[in-house]
Chains A and B, each alone.
Chain A
């Protein structure tokens, strides 16, 4: 495929700032998930959409240099974390996947509710990022 080399200077410059804002928004969605709309799944999709914007503005090789991550391992790590939080409830004599929460005083944030569901959500988040990026990169690599 010999496409005419276009000058994507506007797209690339906007991407440089926009992808960070999308990434930040995905973190916001991730932490909003407990009390508001959001959560691990949509945050993972949003994060990968930020990476997809990078893929659109630059080429596959550049993005692989920027993010030298094998996303299959990301998905595997996420699955591992989710299963571990499930198994972790056995330690406290509870049923599989039962979750707990508590109120803690963190040094800066003050009184914060910390729930083990967030750890499970982290797993979901990583699986979604890993799977989405693997799909897109694999399709993109094929001629």
Chain B
């Protein structure tokens, strides 16, 4: 992905020199042209076309904002309830993310969405121990995390 972005910037600079147009507009036009030629020869690279990765990052941000809103509402409900009915608990979440930044991102996303909190990560970095404020069904919580955050992070690093 980094290689493709670098090549695209170099192509945009080439375009500016070819057209003798050292302006922002020239750069953007050249970037678009470079993007098109990268798209034309996208199978040339071992990784996939990098715009898809950037799209995945945007999707991750949107999902994060959505989960943040929903989870804050649910915590609000728990706090304002006249009687404390929530059942706190700790559950293990087995992840198959490998890279350090992937695990860190996943842990931060889980922590920042209220209601869940990453306590510890096992030594072999395969299990995240998560504390939940209100846990009816650990299976469901695991399923939710896997299908909202983990899949999207995988999509980013693909």
The distance in angstroms between the C-alpha atoms of A21 and B15, with both chains bound, is: 9
Do the beta carbons of A67 and B41 come within 8 Å of each other? yes
In the bound complex, residues from chain B placing their C-beta under 8 Å from that of A24 are 11, 14-15, 18, 30, 33-34, 37
> Known contacts A20-B7, A23-B37; is A28 also within 8 Å of B15 by CB?
yes
A60 CB, min distance to chain B CBs, angstroms:
15
In the bound complex, residues from chain A placing their C-beta under 8 Å from that of B34 are 20, 24
* B99 at interface by CB-CB < 8 Å: no
Do the beta carbons of A108 and B11 come within 8 Å of each other? no
In the bound complex, residues from chain A placing their C-beta under 8 Å from that of B109 are none
* A119 at interface by CB-CB < 8 Å: no
In the bound complex, residues from chain B placing their C-beta under 8 Å from that of A109 are 25, 29
Do the beta carbons of A20 and B43 come within 8 Å of each other? no
B4-19 to A contact mask, C-beta < 8 Å, 1/0: 0001001100110011
Do the beta carbons of B19 and A20 come within 8 Å of each other? no
The distance in angstroms between the C-alpha atoms of A20 and B18, with both chains bound, is: 14
The distance in angstroms between the C-alpha atoms of A16 and B25, with both chains bound, is: 27
Do the beta carbons of A28 and B19 come within 8 Å of each other? yes
* B143 at interface by CB-CB < 8 Å: no
Interface of chain B: mostly helix, strand, loop or mixed? helix
B49 CB, min distance to chain A CBs, angstroms:
13
* B38 at interface by CB-CB < 8 Å: yes
Given contacts A21-B11, A66-B43, list 14 more A-B pairs with CB under 8 A: A16-B44, A17-B7, A19-B41, A20-B37, A23-B40, A24-B14, A24-B15, A27-B33, A27-B37, A66-B41, A67-B40, A109-B25, A109-B29, A110-B25
In the bound complex, residues from chain B placing their C-beta under 8 Å from that of A27 are 33, 36-37
Nearest CB in chain A to that of B18: its residue? A28
The distance in angstroms between the C-alpha atoms of A28 and B18, with both chains bound, is: 7
* A25 at interface by CB-CB < 8 Å: yes
In the bound complex, residues from chain A placing their C-beta under 8 Å from that of B121 are none
Do the beta carbons of A21 and B14 come within 8 Å of each other? yes
Nearest CB in chain B to that of A68: its residue? B43
B2 CB, min distance to chain A CBs, angstroms:
15
Partner of A20 from the list B25, B28, B29, B41 (CB cut-off 8 Å) is B41
